[in-house]
Structure 1
């Protein structure tokens, strides 16, 4: 077995097809079949079952997939650290929720780049469940997410606390009148978004269970829709005050127990994180 065998196995597991795995790894299907057979003989277990026209992992195959991802990540880190033995270099893949992408990423890049100019930062925004899954699956090295998080295998650092506010169109009704609308209209990100969950929790605390959701995929979209009077939403006060203070929107405070959002930096509890990732994490360790 070599690392290429595991790459072929991982491609087949991800794509559910030996043919597609061959295309993705620039080889032929017969070679994929042979490599998978060799792995099955080496581990003494069946790794795939054929279901209809697809292949799916067995329990043993799923276990090997987790190790294959970890081994691939370790090899990438080793290569980066060895090639930059006397300095810190390489690539760090960082995930973040939409507001972190808008508010903090430029500052993060500027500060870190000044200290470690040879490290390349890649940022990807997504909703909370996706970020958690991608960190666990080695697609991301770390991610900025909203607390609380309590998942085995993940470590976390507290980054900052932010205050949330409800936003509405400036020329619209007061909040008390708005909340009496039936159904109430809200503007939110898709399912899995922290801000959507917090807004729905806040409405539930007020006994409001009926509302009509308009779903958008960016902060700018939320601001535009709220400004047009198409519903209310919830965002960090700092985002609104820094970037949208001149827009036709107004803010309302949220009840104290729901007003604070704590941002965490999560990462895998690996034995050997890369030097670059260690340098990034050290910025947030007290």
Structure 2
């Protein structure tokens, strides 16, 4: 085993595919397969479950991933100690909801570029559960997700509170007016979206069990459909006031238990943050928000 074997191992875990890992590591699939097989023989355990569609880490693979990350961090520390370079550099992968990416993504990149110009930031959007899973599975270094998060392996840093509102066409006079249409139509993100869950919970509290959902994959799409009078949705007030205050839509407050969303930054407790990730965390604590 060598460090390149571990890099191939991490690539397979990240991409969920031997073929994609080979492409990312500029090698051939047969080499990746052979190196993983050698690792499994060396450790005497299967590291991946294999299916026609993808591969996933086994419990043994999870354990090796933890040590592989620690080894990578130790090697990086050794390099920094030897060359005595105090410059913070490296690459970090950060996940967030689509809405937060829209609001804060450009600002985060600008903050980081000014204060840590040698740190490369990769932003990846996703649903809450996927983001949490990707942090646990080492596919993301950290992620912004809605609280609460009750997972012992994860550290969390409170980032901000957001007011969540109903977004309705401009001709709606009240919330009762917004839900009078039969059938009621909602404009939502896909299953797993926290805003969709809040909207559906509110409708259920109103005794509304039957409604039609149109699924969109962007905030702009949601706003366009609501503005066109097709239906109602739920979004953070911050995104409405910052980007869509001039649109012909109306917003209505949700009840307190649904109308507040706390965002936290999560990252693994069992790994010492790299200097690049530590710089990002410090940035979030100090002035990024």
What TM-score do you get using the length of structure 2 for normalisation? 0.84
- The residue aligned with 1:70 is 69
* CA displacement at 1:109 relative to structure 2: 2.4
Hey, what's the Cα distance between the residues in 2 that align with 1:118 and 1:16?
29
Hey, what's the Cα distance between the residues in 1 that align with 2:251 and 2:118?
42
Are the aligned partners of 1:45 and 1:60 in contact in 2 as well (CA < 8 Å)? no
- The residue aligned with 2:129 is 129
Structure 2 SS opposite 1:283:
helix
After the TM superposition, which of the residue ranges 242-251 and 173-182 deviates more from structure 2?
A: 173-182
- The residue aligned with 2:154 is 154
- The residue aligned with 1:188 is 188
Hey, what's the Cα distance between the residues in 2 that align with 1:61 and 1:26?
26
After the TM superposition, which of the residue ranges 235-244 and 40-49 deviates more from structure 2?
A: 40-49
Question: Are positions 1:212 and 2:205 aligned together?
Answer: no
- Evaluate the alpha carbon distance shift between residue 15 and residue 193 of structure 1 in structure 2; reply closer, same or farther with a 3 A threshold: closer
- The residue aligned with 1:110 is 110
Structure 2 SS opposite 1:267:
strand
Hey, what's the Cα distance between the residues in 1 that align with 2:29 and 2:6?
15
- The residue aligned with 1:139 is 139
- The residue aligned with 1:282 is 282
Are the aligned partners of 1:13 and 1:65 in contact in 2 as well (CA < 8 Å)? no
Are the aligned partners of 1:170 and 1:250 in contact in 2 as well (CA < 8 Å)? yes
1:201-259, Cα deviation, whole Å (9 max, x unpaired): 11122221211100001110110000001110011112111211111101111111211
- The residue aligned with 1:239 is 239
Are the aligned partners of 1:73 and 1:138 in contact in 2 as well (CA < 8 Å)? no
* CA displacement at 1:32 relative to structure 2: 4.7
Task: Kindly report the root-mean-square deviation, in angstroms, between the aligned alpha carbons of the 2 structures.
Answer: 3.2
Hey, what's the Cα distance between the residues in 2 that align with 1:238 and 1:139?
29
Hey, what's the Cα distance between the residues in 2 that align with 1:237 and 1:43?
52
Structure 1 SS opposite 2:284:
coil
Hey, what's the Cα distance between the residues in 1 that align with 2:201 and 2:141?
31
Question: Are positions 1:2 and 2:2 aligned together?
Answer: yes
1:14-41, Cα deviation, whole Å (9 max, x unpaired): 7777677666655566655553443234
Unaligned runs of 5+ residues in structure 1 are none
Structure 2 SS opposite 1:74:
helix
Are the aligned partners of 2:94 and 2:140 in contact in 1 as well (CA < 8 Å)? yes
* CA displacement at 1:13 relative to structure 2: 6.0
Hey, what's the Cα distance between the residues in 2 that align with 1:163 and 1:105?
19
- The residue aligned with 2:200 is 200
Are the aligned partners of 1:164 and 1:261 in contact in 2 as well (CA < 8 Å)? yes
What TM-score do you get using the length of structure 1 for normalisation? 0.84
